[in-house]
Structure 1
């Protein structure tokens, strides 16, 4: 840490400045930059796989993104790609290898980085080009791992290289497993397994793995390398792999033994997760009689990396009188059974979407069981740059989600409460129930809370007088959540102009433009149901406006006639 504190800023400046002139580097400068990057990379992960030192080097989000962009410019230099050797023997190979290791470590440790790289850089194109040409296997391992981190599931399915990833990993894993040193070309098995764990989350990779008939190799390796069980948990969401695991008697016996004997909390969670996925059906679960005291209005499903904001959301919902279940203390014991009980006792599940949520096996199992139990799903987005993909995109489908990264927290909470159709609640003291008490036995008596009638917001009578805030509140009051996000900058006059444009414009062109705007602002397809309802409401406002003007005109005309009549009498 002393080295990074003393030389870190100088290093960052050197990389930033010289990254813009990478095409003109001579051999001496290349050698200097190569060994400098390799040295700093070693400092960042000295003696640990966790990034305990990288925060010293990259202390702010701006510095992180600036440095990553600089490294991308360097690794994107095509003349370096052509000189990658099969051994760690020249500057170009060492340079790209060191940068890839830095990327891989940073992606695993720095929140939001994968979404930033995916949406704001061209790194995926560069890495695809290198992965297809590289003859140095450690670069290939890192390349596949990075692609699995920065590409969405849909993007990973589209690239031609996906078919090779599963085959590549199993080939080198088998060679390493059968080698006396448990390495493949100096790459240790744990490093290979870490790379495969990342790609194993992808549905396309899972299906390719199912067809490879290599599950038995992973089962064999699980005796020596516990991380393999985590890989098998990820793969076990695939139905074909489930069958392969169920029919392996020795593996099922091992899981049963681990369930009873394992004291390692992480391994117990993985074991229970695997067993949950391998159960033939959860619809047949015996659900105990649930009294009113044990029923929750809402369950919050989230990744523990988003714990702080989720606790704040929990507290806001409790204030409004909701009975909320949340894994506040991180459940111990049979986590899957506790999760199932929480879902069975809840009416609504709030799914807190982020990159980590999508990658979490536990979150995936939780969300799928809630879907099976037909809970009302309310998705919210907690991570900037992230767009739902893979199984998560399939699960939420066309549901509108509330973007907590786009609005201030107070506004986002208001949108969430509206989506939950909350009504004003008389403040009655209630007991909040956390996961620990609910898993063992819920003993708190929760009072029935009387509800007041919902209070409507008051808007200016004339739509032309509506401000942007009035428009937003009016849309929310009528449950036009998507339209409130699309028309975020509209005032009353703008609504009338849009109404005219929709009515008088070319229908196909109008819908196309609105669809583009919806995708740009909400990342979702335009809801024709909301659009139709919106048009109906605006027409009502327009009729009211016309009626008001007509009444004023009649009143003014009558007053004028009276005035003329008075003048006649005077004359």
Structure 2
């Protein structure tokens, strides 16, 4: 019996040799042979497809095919009929193979194919004046290019190979009449969506269209729409709602109840995807109100017999988010937080950030601090253990990384800790706080942090961190190394003295300089002690509004509006 993997390797080696000599007459035959081998395994033979792609990839097949595409694209107007067929078949191979599990798509990302596909799309959109009636060859190439970019966009590192500030090449297709091209364009935008990218993928119509596709797919026998499965569409919506503005859009178009229908269904893949999407949505206050009507149903699904572990975890995440929001409302106004340990919160992404977080925890333990980190302390239910760890902490260290800001678990931990009025202390382990305007930046916007991104400064930064902890805890009993019970001030940089209400604008300016907050001087121009007191009250009673308002005061007009709002609030308090 012929070993299909060896056959593919042999064909790829021969293709590599002939391509190196620019012998495209023979190369096109080998390209067709590879395409036919894959096609023969398309019907319910995923293992065979994976084996073919793995063998192809082991011989640097991505580089070989992309080289052929690059050379032939420069001669496209001069190509013979057989050369054109080879050109199209190369794109088909890249489209099919990039949709197969494995490392092929990662290797493909290191070639020039993304740039080549984008150029195809830019050229295609100019073929006619904003109408999509292409010649069949042009339409095929556009579909192939969008298909390849879609498969690449699903990789976790895809944003690294796209120009996130210029995704305009997708707009003619997203706004066009071809439903298939619209669907692929919307999915690419969804998977490249991130809080740091504003504009195109934050638009309301993209989110609405994705929910519309999902609703249509649900009512087909195959649970597919425009070639996209319900699971794929839900995953795309999940990426879109990382942007908080899109959460509200999903709620407005009845997307929450639609996702609940999938959670209550019997397709496990769709159930897990929908539950993950609802968990991400559950951080929106307006979505929380709608989800609370489903709590009983969610609770019954989460009490599974253990055969649906991932689904149960997602649902418990939703329930804990909803319950923690209720608890946070109940404890508003609490001024103190007690606990027995420091909690180190980080993302399990396997990168440098995770390693640094664990090293930080070890160093703190060596200094006599009692530290909770899941590597040592996790028992029983993940989410139950997290809630208990937060409740028993007196200081919550956030290890800021890109993985942290994208993780529902981490977001739940941080917001739960904030709601429980724990003292938060950010440390940078592989990302920044200042380059983004997202939930994590809002949460930490007024806080001092320790930067651990340079490994050669690790020990000095640990010393700095220990000093910060002592400052925040206000430790007076140096013999109490067990850190058994502390009463902490809620704020780290907004430490308020008893006579702060008498401060004038000059006192506020001095206070900002002393706390290294000169960047807020423009936003708080003219603010006095009463203004700072009002801001402090706002932070306690409406933290998300506080952070968003302060962050968006990036010009004088917005700052003046905030100052006027605070004066109005004080005036009402005096009635």
TM-score (normalizing by structure 1): 0.61
1:35: which partner in 2?
Answer: 89
State the alpha-carbon separation in 1 of the partners of residues 72 and 514 from structure 2. Answer: 53
State the alpha-carbon separation in 2 of the partners of residues 201 and 448 from structure 1. Answer: 37
Match of 1:353 among 400, 403, 425: 400
State the alpha-carbon separation in 1 of the partners of residues 278 and 206 from structure 2. Answer: 17
**Correspondence 1:379 to 2:426:** yes
2:105: which partner in 1?
Answer: 54
Match of 1:326 among 373, 381, 387: 373
1:485-521 deviation line (CA, Å, top 9, x unaligned): xxxxxxxxxxxxxxxxxxxxxxxxxxxxxxxxxxxxx
1:559: which partner in 2?
Answer: none
1:296: which partner in 2?
Answer: 341
User: Per the alignment, in what secondary structure is the counterpart of residue 167 of structure 2?
Assistant: helix
Match of 2:296 among 246, 252, 256: 252
Taking only aligned residues, the RMSD between alpha carbons, in angstroms, comes to 4.2
1:141: which partner in 2?
Answer: 183
State the alpha-carbon separation in 2 of the partners of residues 329 and 145 from structure 1. Answer: 40
2:277: which partner in 1?
Answer: 231
Once the two structures are TM-superposed, the CA of residue 349 in structure 1 deviates from its matched residue by 2.5
Mapped contact 1:175–1:184 kept (Cα < 8 A): yes
Once the two structures are TM-superposed, the CA of residue 127 in structure 1 deviates from its matched residue by 2.5
Match of 2:455 among 400, 409, 417: 409
Once the two structures are TM-superposed, the CA of residue 331 in structure 1 deviates from its matched residue by 4.8
Deviates more, 1:36-45 or 1:164-173: 36-45
Match of 1:11 among 65, 83, 86: 65
1:344: which partner in 2?
Answer: 391
Mapped contact 2:372–2:389 kept (Cα < 8 A): yes
State the alpha-carbon separation in 1 of the partners of residues 75 and 374 from structure 2. Answer: 49
Once the two structures are TM-superposed, the CA of residue 236 in structure 1 deviates from its matched residue by 1.6
**Correspondence 1:131 to 2:182:** no
Once the two structures are TM-superposed, the CA of residue 129 in structure 1 deviates from its matched residue by 4.1
Mapped contact 2:190–2:239 kept (Cα < 8 A): yes
State the alpha-carbon separation in 2 of the partners of residues 243 and 423 from structure 1. Answer: 37
2:289: which partner in 1?
Answer: 243
User: Per the alignment, in what secondary structure is the counterpart of residue 369 of structure 2?
Assistant: coil
User: Per the alignment, in what secondary structure is the counterpart of residue 351 of structure 1?
Assistant: strand
Match of 2:211 among 157, 170, 194: 170
Change over 3 Å in CA distance of 1:320–1:11 after alignment to 2: farther
Change over 3 Å in CA distance of 1:330–1:209 after alignment to 2: farther
State the alpha-carbon separation in 2 of the partners of residues 400 and 72 from structure 1. Answer: 44
Unaligned runs of 5+ in 2: 1-53, 332-337, 471-479, 485-512, 519-550, 555-575
Kindly name which structure, 1 or 2, has the bigger radius of gyration based on alpha carbons. 1
Mapped contact 1:295–1:346 kept (Cα < 8 A): yes
User: Per the alignment, in what secondary structure is the counterpart of residue 217 of structure 1?
Assistant: helix
Change over 3 Å in CA distance of 1:41–1:325 after alignment to 2: farther
Once the two structures are TM-superposed, the CA of residue 409 in structure 1 deviates from its matched residue by 1.0
1:216: which partner in 2?
Answer: 257
1:32-84 deviation line (CA, Å, top 9, x unaligned): 444313313422443x4xx44434x35xxxxx455365346534533356479
State the alpha-carbon separation in 1 of the partners of residues 147 and 399 from structure 2. Answer: 30
Mapped contact 1:229–1:270 kept (Cα < 8 A): yes
Within 5 Å, give how 1:463-478 maps onto structure 2.
none
Change over 3 Å in CA distance of 1:297–1:188 after alignment to 2: closer
Mapped contact 1:258–1:268 kept (Cα < 8 A): yes
Within 5 Å, give how 1:147-162 maps onto structure 2.
147-153=189-195, 155-156=197-198, 158-159=199-200, 162=203
Unaligned runs of 5+ in 1: 59-63, 286-291, 425-444, 450-477, 484-522, 527-571
Change over 3 Å in CA distance of 1:403–1:448 after alignment to 2: closer
Once the two structures are TM-superposed, the CA of residue 218 in structure 1 deviates from its matched residue by 1.9
**Correspondence 1:395 to 2:439:** no
State the alpha-carbon separation in 1 of the partners of residues 284 and 388 from structure 2. Answer: 24
Aligned positions, number: 414
Change over 3 Å in CA distance of 1:396–1:26 after alignment to 2: farther
State the alpha-carbon separation in 2 of the partners of residues 93 and 329 from structure 1. Answer: 56
Once the two structures are TM-superposed, the CA of residue 301 in structure 1 deviates from its matched residue by 2.8
User: Per the alignment, in what secondary structure is the counterpart of residue 153 of structure 1?
Assistant: coil
Once the two structures are TM-superposed, the CA of residue 267 in structure 1 deviates from its matched residue by 1.5
State the alpha-carbon separation in 1 of the partners of residues 437 and 120 from structure 2. Answer: 27
State the alpha-carbon separation in 1 of the partners of residues 397 and 104 from structure 2. Answer: 35
**Correspondence 1:272 to 2:272:** no
1:569: which partner in 2?
Answer: none
User: Per the alignment, in what secondary structure is the counterpart of residue 467 of structure 2?
Assistant: coil
State the alpha-carbon separation in 1 of the partners of residues 284 and 553 from structure 2. Answer: 28
Mapped contact 1:117–1:123 kept (Cα < 8 A): no
1:321-367 deviation line (CA, Å, top 9, x unaligned): 43322222795643222112111222332323333322222111111
State the alpha-carbon separation in 1 of the partners of residues 168 and 394 from structure 2. Answer: 44
